[in-house]
Structure 1
Amino acid sequence: MLASNILLIYTDQQSSRLTYIINTLFQGEATITSNLIYFNTFTGQRINYSSTEITGVTCHIYPHGILIENDIKPQKINIFEWKNKPAFFQTDGSIPFDLFAAAFYLITRYEEWLPHETDELSRYKPEQSLAYQNDFLQFPLINFWLSKLKEELNMEIKYQFSFRPSFDIDIAYSYLHHSSIRNILGYFKDLLNFKFTQLAERLQVLAGVQRDPYDIYDWLHLLHESLELKPLYFFLVASNRNSLHKNISPGTVAMQALMIAHSKKYTVGLHPSVVQKNTEQTLQKEKKLLENIIEQPVKHSRQHYIHLKFPETYKALVDSGIEADYSMGYPQINGFRASYTKPFNWFNLATNLPTSLMVYPFCYMDATAIFHEKKTVLEAAKILDEFYSLHQQYGGVFIPIFHNNFLTKQPAFIDWRNLYADFLLKHCTR
C-alpha cells in the first residue's frame, strides 16, 4: 500500500504522455494506477482521470483525448476562465477542463510542432502562440493551475525556488584579440561615421591605456563571489565569423584563457552556432572543440539567438550528449514560452517518449528588453522583479540571461550595468 501522502490518479487508459505529464507536474508526489479496486481502497488523496464517475471521489478530471493519441495534429482550442485565469480543453468534471492535457500541450510546445510562421532566422514567432494571443505569456499558467488543483485536494504545496544568473558570451572583447584587419576597418568606419568617441576608445584600448569595454569579467566575478552566486556561462565558439557570429576565434590564446578561467570557477556551456543545415554535425564539432579547450565534458547548452526548432535542435543535443539546455524562452518577447517555471525533461512528440535532456526555461533576456521590446531601464527592472517574484511564489529556477557587452561602462549601457548590480544587491544580499 502506498503512503497516504502520495496522490493516487486513476486512469483506464495508460499512456506515455500521461505518465510524462504526471511525473513532470508532481515530481514524485503522485502515482498512476489502472487498478480500480486498489484505487477505491486507497486512503490518501485521489483523482479520477477517466470518463466514468467513481462514487466517493470528489476530484474528477475528464480526459480530453490528446494524452492517448500517438500522432501530432491540430487541436481545437477554446479559451475559457477557471479561477479567473485562462484554461482550455474544457470537459465535464469537478475540474472543468483536462488540466493534464492542457499542461502537456504547453510544456511540450505542441503548437510549435504544427505548421507555423517563422522569422528571418527560421524561428517560431511568439505572436502566434496560445500564450501570446490570450495574454498569459508573462504568467506561468501551468504553475497556477497546479497550485489551484492542490488546493482543491488539500495537498501540501511545496515551492522550491532558486536563482542562477546566466551569461551568453557572444563577443568576448570589443577591440582586443580581434584581427588587425577588423580593427583597421573598424577605425575607418568610425571615422567616416563621425563616431569620434568610439574611435578614441578603440585607440586607447589597443594602446593599452584603457581596458576593453567588454572585459567586465573581473567585475562580475567580484559581484558574484560577494553574493555567493554561481552563474552559468555559455561561450560561442563558431569557427566562421559573419553577421551572426562575431566572437573572436576560439583558437586565440586570449579566448581559450578566458574559457579555461571560467570553467575552473563556474559551469561553462556551449552556445551553438546558428546553422540551417548539418545541425548535429556542427554541434558535435563545437562541443568537442570547447571540451578540448577547457579539458572537461560539456553538458550544458543554450542556442545562439535562441535558434530553437522542434524537433531538430533538441534531437541534435540529445544525440551529442548534452544533458541540459537553457533555450526555452523567446528571443523576441520576454515571457514563459512553456508557461512553466520549473525544469523538465524534453518530450519528443515524434517518438512519443520522454528523453534524458533536461530543459531549463528562461523568461527574461536583456537583449530582448533592449532591442526587441525597447524597454527603458526602469521598465526592464520592474519586469525583472516581477519575474523573480513569480518564481518565488510558484517555485522553479529563475535563470535570466545577460550579455557582457550590454553591461559595460559605455554611455549606452551603463544604466543596464547598474540595473544588474542593483537587482543582485536587492534580492541576493543576506
Structure 2
Amino acid sequence: MYLYTHHITPRLQYVVNFIQQLFTQPVQIVTAIHDVKDNEIIINYSKEVLAVKCFTIHPHALLTESGIQAQAIDCFETNGMKAFFATGGDIPFDIFAASFYLLSRYEEYLPYTPDQFGRYPHQNALAFKENFLHQPLINTWWTYFTQQVQEKLTVQIAGKNQFTFLPTYDIDIAWSYKNKGFRRNLGGWCKDLLQGKFSLLSKRIAVLRGKQKDPFDAYGWLHQLHEQHRLKPYYFFLLAHHRTQYEKNISPDNKQLIALISDHLIRYPVGIHPSWNSSLDEGVMNREIQTLTQIAGKPVLASRQHYIKFTVPHTYRMLLQQGIRFDFSMGYGSINGFRASVALPFYWYDLEQEQQTELLLFPFCFMDANAYYEQNNTPQDALAEMKSLYQAVKDVNGLFSMIWHNNFVGTDPAFTGWKEVYEQFMQWQVMQHPPAF
C-alpha cells in the first residue's frame, strides 16, 4: 500500500507507523507517483488529481504544522460516527490529522485548569464534550476507511490486529490490617471504636491473630480465576517510602510485601505504580523503581501512575529517563472511557520535540475506582458498563484493558457485591471470546 503525499513530516510518519499495526500490507510513503509499483493500492493524501486509480484524502494543515496552537475543531456526523477536520476527497475528513490530534493528546498541551488532583480534567476533552468518550473512535474510523478503500478500488485489505483482553491490577494497599505495624493498627482500632464500628474491631483482632483472612487479601482467589480463564494480567505495586494522604501502602521494606511481590513476579508481568509525588519529582520516581528492581532482580519496564496522575510531556519524559518502556496510565482517574479515543497500544509522540518516542502506551477504558467513587455506580451498573465497553472494543478487534484493585475483590464490607460482579464479568467474557487452547 502506498501513501502519496507532497510532504513527509514526523507527524505523518507517526500516524502511518500507528496504522501499520492494522494492515498486513506494509504502508510506504512516497512523494513521487512514479515510485509506485503497478497494481498497488494507492492512497492519495493530497489535493492533486492523479492520473491513476487511487483513494483520495484531502489533507488538513495539522500534519504539516510545527509547534502547538489551539485548533479550530467542528465535529460532525458521518456514517453514524463523529468526525472532525472536514476536508474533501473520498471521505469527508482528514483521518490522518484527526487520528494524530487524539493520539498525541494535542489538547493536553494547551492551557487548562487542572482538577483537584492536578490532572487534566476530562471535562476539557473533545471526546467528553462531543459525547464519544465511550467509543474507540480511532479504531472505528480506520475500519470505515478500510471498507471505503476496498469498495472504491475493488481490493482486499487484510487486517492483522486481533481482539485482546488484558486485565490489570493496582496494589495500592496490599492488606487492610496485616503488616501495617502496631502504631497504624492501634490508630485504626481507635478510629473504629470512636465511630462505633464494633464488628470491625473484632475482625481486626481476628485477622491479626491469624484467625481470619485479611479483607484485602484476594490474591489466591485471583490466581485461581486467572488460571481458570488462561489470563496473564499485569500487576502494579505502590512502593512509596513515605506515607501521605494519597499513599497508605505497606512499607516497601516489609518482608511479607516483598514475598508477595516475588510470588507475583513468578506468575505475571509486574510493574511499578509510581506514587503521587513521583509525577513531579524524578528522584522519588527513581527510588521507587529501584526498589522494585532490587526485588525483581531485573530492570522494571512497565508502570502506571498512582491516581492516574501524570502530565504530558513531563511525566512521560521522566518515565523514559528511568528506563520505563510500557506505560498503562492512558485513561482518566475521574471517569471511564477512552482518553485517547483508541483501543490499541500506541507509542507516545512528544509534541514539543516533534518525535515518536520509545514509550509504548497501553490505554485502559474501565477502572473500578472510577465506577465506585466518581460515577457512584452500583456493582450491577459497573457490570453493564464493562460489558458495553468490552463489546465496543471487540467490534473493532482492539485491546480491552481495565483496572481493578485487590480491595474491591476481597471481603471488605464497603465493597460488597463487587467481587461477585467481577467474577460474573470474567465468566461472561469467556463466552464472548473463548481462549485458544
TM over 0.5: yes
CA contact (8 A) 1:138 1:336 kept: yes
Give the share of equivalent positions with the same residue, in percent.
41
Q: Which residue, 40, 43, 49 being the options, matches 2:39?
A: 43
CA distance in 2, matches of 1:223, 1:278: 37
Q: Find the residue that maps to 2:40 and give its secondary structure.
A: coil
CA distance in 1, matches of 2:9, 2:72: 21
CA distance in 2, matches of 1:42, 1:331: 50
Report which stretch shifted further, 190-199 or 234-243.
190-199
Deviation at 1:38, TM superposition (A): 2.4
CA contact (8 A) 2:41 2:54 kept: no
| Unaligned stretches of 5+ residues in structure 1 | 1-6
Equivalent residue for 1:17?
Answer: 11
Deviation at 1:62, TM superposition (A): 0.9
Equivalent residue for 1:347?
Answer: 349
Deviation at 1:158, TM superposition (A): 4.1
Q: Find the residue that maps to 2:419 and give its secondary structure.
A: helix
Q: Aligned pair 1:53/2:52, yes or no?
A: no
- The root-mean-square deviation of aligned C-alpha atoms, in Å, is 1.4
Q: Find the residue that maps to 1:327 and give its secondary structure.
A: coil
Equivalent residue for 2:194?
Answer: 192
Distance 1:285 1:32, change over 3 A: same
CA distance in 1, matches of 2:49, 2:419: 58
TM-score by length of 1: 0.96
Counterpart residue identity of residue 235, structure 2: Y
Within-5 A mapping of 1:173-188 = 173-188=175-190
Deviation at 1:150, TM superposition (A): 0.3
CA distance in 1, matches of 2:63, 2:72: 14
Counterpart residue identity of residue 99, structure 2: A
Equivalent residue for 1:146?
Answer: 142
Q: Find the residue that maps to 1:412 and give its secondary structure.
A: helix
Distance 1:86 1:286, change over 3 A: same
Q: Find the residue that maps to 2:362 and give its secondary structure.
A: strand
Equivalent residue for 2:154?
Answer: none
Counterpart residue identity of residue 49, structure 1: Y
Q: Aligned pair 1:137/2:139, yes or no?
A: no
Equivalent residue for 2:390?
Answer: 388
Equivalent residue for 1:256?
Answer: 258
Q: Find the residue that maps to 2:417 and give its secondary structure.
A: helix
Within-5 A mapping of 1:284-363 = 284-363=286-365
Counterpart residue identity of residue 309, structure 2: H
Report which stretch shifted further, 41-50 or 240-249.
41-50
CA contact (8 A) 2:280 2:315 kept: no
Q: Which residue, 18, 29, 34 being the options, matches 1:32?
A: 29
Counterpart residue identity of residue 185, structure 1: G
Q: Which residue, 88, 91, 100 being the options, matches 1:95?
A: 91
Counterpart residue identity of residue 36, structure 1: I
CA contact (8 A) 1:48 1:61 kept: yes
Deviation at 1:161, TM superposition (A): 1.0
Q: Which residue, 417, 426, 431 being the options, matches 1:415?
A: 417
Deviation at 1:406, TM superposition (A): 1.1
Aligned length: 423
Counterpart residue identity of residue 397, structure 2: G
Equivalent residue for 1:279?
Answer: 281
CA distance in 1, matches of 2:207, 2:117: 34
Q: Aligned pair 1:223/2:217, yes or no?
A: no
CA distance in 2, matches of 1:22, 1:198: 57
